[in-house]
Amino acid sequence: MDKHAAYIRGFAERTDNFEYYATEHFRMSGVYWGLTALCLLHRRDDLDGPAIIKWVLECQHEDGGFGGSERHDAHLLYTLSAVQILAIYNELDLVDADKIAKFVAGLQQPDGSFAGDQWGEIDTRFSYCALLCLSILGKLDAIDVPKAAEYVASCRNFDGGFGCTPGCESHAGQVFCCVGALALADSLHLVDRDLLCWWLCERQTPSGGLNGRPEKQEDVCYSWWCLSCLSILERLHWIDQAALSKFILFCQDEEDGGISDRPEDMADVFHTFFGIAGLSLMGYEGLEPIDPTYALPSAVVDRIRQRNGAPS
Ligand code: GRG
Ligand code: ZN
């Protein structure tokens, strides 16, 4: 745990390398991944909270949305990450929730789907981002929630999985977004639970790791994309958790910290977060629990629920 925390801190501190500039456009999500991983390791305050909060606020646009970093266009992906970061630091009062809700609501289309930004790409990822962002802010009433759920359900396939838009192939990443969105919309009855959970547990390969769709390679991040759905749908016991834990642990860089997508590859912050998050979902000793729908530490979600007046 010490090495993973040091790896994440090192990533946050190094700005004189190629990766720093090459990842500029999605830095807001990178900060969310690193910070949430540190929370699960009980080390939230290893990063400079006040500096991060100041930077997050600098990335907000006049229309209420947030960019991936300063000078980048507002997008739902980074608006969600920004709101998640502020929730972790218990600093949601620093932003105008109505202004953010207006930005999100402005991206909903007549069929219930969401565009990611003003340029109009439609994807079920953005449905999840919109619903989660507004749930955290306690502003779900800014959008048409039943219509949002109806659109997500229209992306459901014969195998029980979900894709990016209607008719697109089932992919575990999209399944996470759709199951998460339906959970937030209180519409899980639109999921064919047994069919989908069977498809999800079929993602486990002989390596113990999970893949994202049939015939593809296993990858640590699917420990989150698949497992979170199995957890939401109460079927976590349908996979071999011991074998999956072993696979994730095998992908650790034991010298420099960090977790890679599969054994022998280079570690990165994305897979470090999703590996730790997967272990946390399986109750791995010493890790903070994570909420499978909010993708935030459970303690943060309890606080959000209290703030929004819902029973925790
Ligand atoms: C708050 C956790 C959280 C997420 C925000 C952005 C988002 C919402 C969700 C992304 C879901 C998604 C699509 C994940 C998949 C990422 C991934 C590993 C894509 C790789 O796709 P391919 O086709 O990989 O390159 P395979 O494994 O199919 O070969
Ligand atoms: Zn991956």
| pLDDT beyond 60 at 249 | yes
Pocket residue to mutate for ligand 1, from 66, 122, 128, 203, most atoms within 8 A of Cβ:
128
Q: Which numbered ligand comes closest to the C-alpha of 259?
A: 2
Our answer on whether the CB atom of 277 is closer than 6 Å to any ligand 1 atom is: no
Tell me the pLDDT band of 197, cut-offs 50, 70 and 90.
very high
Cα gap 144→165, rounded to integer Å: 18
Answer whether residue 87 shows pLDDT above 90: yes
DSSP symbols for 116-168: SSTT--B-HHHHHHHHHHHHHHT-GGGS-HHHHHHHHHTTB-TTS-B-SSTTP
With 50 as the cut, is the pLDDT of residue 165 above it?
A: yes
Please state, rounded to an integer, the average pLDDT across all residues of the chain. Answer: 97
The pick from 171, 204, 213, 270 for probing ligand 1's pocket by mutation, whose C-beta has the most ligand atoms within 8 angstroms, reads: 171
Instruction: Give the confidence band of 260 by pLDDT, cuts at 50, 70, 90.
Output: very high
Average pLDDT over residues 130-142: 98
At residue 19, the pLDDT reads 87
d(CA 197, CA 191): 10
**Angle at CA 91, nearest 5°, toward 87 and 96?**
95
Pick 19 or 56 by higher pLDDT: 56
Ligand nearest to the CA of 175: 1
H or E element that contains 20 = helix 18-22
Ligand 1 centroid distance, CA of 149 (Å): 20
Cα maximum dimension of the chain: 52
Report whether 190 contacts 156 (CB < 8 A): yes
Q: pTM of the full predicted structure?
A: 0.98
For the chain, the helix, strand and coil percentages under 3-state DSSP, each to the nearest 5: 55, 5, 40
Q: Any alpha helices (H) in 185-265, and if so which ranges?
A: 193-201, 222-232, 241-250
Report the residue among 117, 176, 184 best suited for mutation to probe ligand 1: largest number of ligand atoms under 8 A from its CB.
176
Q: Is the CB of 174 under 6 A from ligand 1?
A: yes
Q: Percentage of the chain surpassing pLDDT 90?
A: 96
- Give pLDDT tens digits for 30-58: 999 999 999 999 999 999 999 999 999 99
pLDDT at 269: 97
Average pLDDT over residues 216-240: 98
Q: Which ipTM value was assigned to this complex?
A: 0.98
For ligand 1, whether the C-beta of 212 sits within 6 Å is yes
Predicted pLDDT at 312: 45
Confidence of residue 311 (pLDDT cuts 50, 70, 90): low
- CA-nearest of 273, 188, 291 to 12 is 273
Q: 12 versus 146: which is more confidently predicted?
A: 146
pLDDT band at 231 (very low <50, low <70, confident <90, very high): very high
CA–centroid distance, residue 161 to ligand 1 (Å): 14
